[in-house]
């Protein structure tokens, strides 16, 4: 009987367990399904959040790009027409633009001031063309910028011109937006066409830089000792660029200094400092006048003023090292110059000081090593050839070859 009851109860028991198992199975399936749905919802929410962030960043970037483009001071170089004879020899419009760009970059590298603005010269075909999707149509932000320029009447600034050959003359016309056209000529009687072209491009680059980046140009004129140009530029800035009044007086002072009129130069520097008391370049220039007068302690005082006004301006540090050289403290001058090189290895002037120190120490190997680095970074050593110790090397083949290799003017 007991056995029968057990057998009778067994199916019931199994049926009960089966129902529990089925319920558990179904509950487990529902739980898994819910977890999958929950995970999918989380992934979808995360992707939506990422898409929203990307959209916001994209909008901010596009807005910033358009704002920068509408307010840029950069110039676009394009449309230099070239005679077919030159094009056949590889001097195309693009090559001409590239040559001018290189010359502008070299001239800028020669200059040394605390001026932070820096105009750019962009070949038109290298302009930015960032694409965005507007209602399924690819449109460049540059196109949007140009449309906004037309709406707000913001003029795009260009540098263009044309090259022509007339009989025995080669003529280059250059136009800068907002300035009158300039015409340059070279006679071909004593020059081949390509040598004449290089001279024309050098002249044109000076005018382009003066009309687009006059503050850089005033330093270039001073470094290359072009008398009269600094005074003319200073007067031009006073009339046409009143925001650069302090730079105008500095340019005028630099011109007077080139003419040996140190007292008049100092008066102009005082005007520059009156216009801008923390004008580091003016304090530095004043120190250099005193240095050339061998008033070394007073010069050091002015250089320190320049450093206090702008600790990031490297030239006063360089001039302090040069004062140690002039005082015959060659090891200290080398040390100070090397410290400056550590701050900026591409600032060429400390290398020229080190070269001069090694010239005095009769170490020609290190003299030439540092001289070439200085020339590589566009230090205009060729403007100092009549001064000690450079004049002792003039006529030496190795020295003359290096100067000829890097000389710009």
Residue 12 has pLDDT above 70, yes or no: no
What is the pLDDT averaged over residues 232-261?
Answer: 93
Give residue-wise pLDDT tens across range 289-332: 999 999 999 999 999 999 999 999 999 999 999 999 999 999 99
Residue 35 has pLDDT above 70, yes or no: no
Binning pLDDT at 50, 70 and 90, where does residue 125 land?
very low
Model pLDDT, residue 78: 75
Distance CA 63, CA 157 (A): 21
**H or E stretch including 187?**
strand 182-187
Q: Contact, 73 vs 119, CB < 8 A?
A: yes
Residue 126 has pLDDT above 60, yes or no: no
Binning pLDDT at 50, 70 and 90, where does residue 350 land?
very high
- Cis peptide leading into residue 389 (ω within 30°): yes
Give residue-wise pLDDT tens across range 332-343: 999 999 999 999
Residue 220 has pLDDT above 80, yes or no: yes
Model pLDDT, residue 110: 75
Strand order in the sheet with 182-187: 121-123, 75-81, 158-166, 169-176, 182-187
Model pLDDT, residue 4: 44
Model pLDDT, residue 56: 82
Model pLDDT, residue 146: 66
Distance CA 349, CA 316 (A): 11
CA torsion through residues 403, 404, 406, 408, sign: positive
Model pLDDT, residue 248: 96
**H or E stretch including 133?**
strand 131-134
Model pLDDT, residue 26: 55
Residue 24 has pLDDT above 60, yes or no: no
Helix axes 2-70, 141-152, angle to 10 degrees: 40
Model pLDDT, residue 135: 41
Model pLDDT, residue 63: 74
Plot region of 167 (φ>0 → left; ψ -120 to 50 → alpha; else → beta)? left
Residue 131 has pLDDT above 70, yes or no: no
**H or E stretch including 166?**
strand 158-166
Q: Which residue has the tokens 């200290």?
A: 332
Q: Tell which wins on pLDDT, 111 or 292.
A: 292
Q: Provide DSSP, 332-373.
A: HHHHHHHHHHHH-TT--HHHHHHHHHHHHTT-HHHHHHHHHH
Least confident of 76-80, 103-107, 184-188: 76-80
Residue 59 has pLDDT above 60, yes or no: yes
Q: How far apart are the first and last CA of the chain?
A: 126
Mean of pLDDT over the chain: 83
Nearest to 222 by CA among 232, 208, 212, 236: 232
| pLDDT > 90 fraction of the chain, expressed in percent and rounded | 48
Q: Does domain 314-409 have CATH number 3.90.110.10?
A: no
Residue 65, burial from CB neighbour count under 10 angstroms (0-12, 13-18, 19+): middle
Model pLDDT, residue 22: 55
What is the pLDDT averaged over residues 50-77?
Answer: 72
Distance CA 304, CA 300 (A): 6
Model pLDDT, residue 1: 43
Annotated domain spans of the chain: 74-131+153-212, 314-409
Q: Which residues contact 301 (CB under 8 A, 6 or more apart)?
A: 287
Binning pLDDT at 50, 70 and 90, where does residue 375 land?
very high
Distance CA 71, CA 68 (A): 5
Model pLDDT, residue 268: 97
Distance CA 53, CA 45 (A): 12
Question: Please, what's the largest Cα pairwise distance for the chain?
Answer: 137
What is the pLDDT averaged over residues 160-176?
Answer: 90
Enter the tokens of residue 383.
Answer: 């403007």
What is the pLDDT averaged over residues 187-215?
Answer: 88
Q: Which residue has the tokens 């020669």?
A: 110
Q: Tell which wins on pLDDT, 61 or 131.
A: 61
What is the pLDDT averaged over residues 62-70?
Answer: 65
| Dihedral angle computed from the Cα positions of residues 199, 204, 207 and 210, in that order, rounded to the nearest 10 degrees | -90
């Amino acid at each position: 009987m007991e056995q029968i009851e057990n057998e009778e109860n067994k199916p019931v028991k199994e049926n009960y367990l089966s129902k529990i198992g089925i319920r558990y199975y179904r509950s487990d399936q529902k739980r898994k399904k819910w977890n999958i749905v929950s995970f999918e919802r989380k992934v979808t929410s995360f992707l939506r959040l990422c898409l929203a962030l990307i959209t916001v960043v994209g909008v901010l970037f596009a807005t910033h790009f358009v704002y920068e483009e509408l307010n840029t001071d950069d110039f676009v170089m394009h449309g230099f027409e070239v005679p077919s004879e030159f094009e056949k020899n590889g001097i195309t419009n693009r090559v001409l633009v590239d040559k001018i760009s290189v010359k502008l970059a070299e001239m800028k590298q020669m200059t040394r001031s605390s001026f932070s603005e820096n105009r750019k010269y962009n070949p038109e075909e290298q302009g930015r063309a960032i694409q965005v999707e507007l209602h399924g149509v690819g449109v460049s932000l540059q196109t949007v910028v140009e449309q906004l320029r037309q709406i707000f009447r913001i003029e795009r600034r260009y540098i263009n011109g044309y090259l022509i050959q007339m009989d025995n003359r080669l003529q280059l016309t250059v136009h800068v937006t907002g300035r009158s056209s300039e015409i340059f000529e070279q006679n071909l009687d004593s020059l081949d066409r390509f040598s004449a072209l290089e001279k024309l491009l050098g002249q044109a680059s000076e005018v382009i830089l003066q009309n687009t980046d006059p503050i850089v140009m005033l330093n270039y004129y001073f470094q290359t000792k072009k008398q009269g140009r600094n005074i003319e530029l200073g007067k031009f800035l006073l009339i046409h660029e009143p925001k650069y009044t302090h730079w105008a007086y500095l340019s005028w002072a630099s011109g007077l200094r080139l003419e040996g009129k140190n007292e008049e130069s100092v008066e102009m520097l005082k005007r520059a400092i009156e216009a801008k008391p923390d004008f580091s370049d003016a304090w530095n220039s004043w120190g250099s006048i005193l240095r050339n007068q061998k008033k070394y302690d007073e010069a050091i005082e002015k250089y320190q003023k320049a450093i206090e006004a702008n600790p990031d301006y490297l030239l006063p540090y360089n001039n302090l090292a040069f004062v140690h050289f002039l005082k015959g403290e060659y090891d200290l001058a080398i040390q100070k110059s090397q410290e400056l090189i550590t701050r900026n290895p591409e600032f060429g002037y400390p290398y020229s000081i080190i070269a001069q120190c090694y010239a005095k120490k009769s170490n020609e190997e290190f003299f030439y090593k540092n001289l070439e680095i200085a020339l590589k970074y566009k230090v205009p050593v060729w403007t100092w050839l009549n001064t000690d110790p450079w004049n002792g090397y003039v006529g030496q083949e190795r020295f003359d070859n290096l100067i000829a290799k890097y000389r710009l003017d």
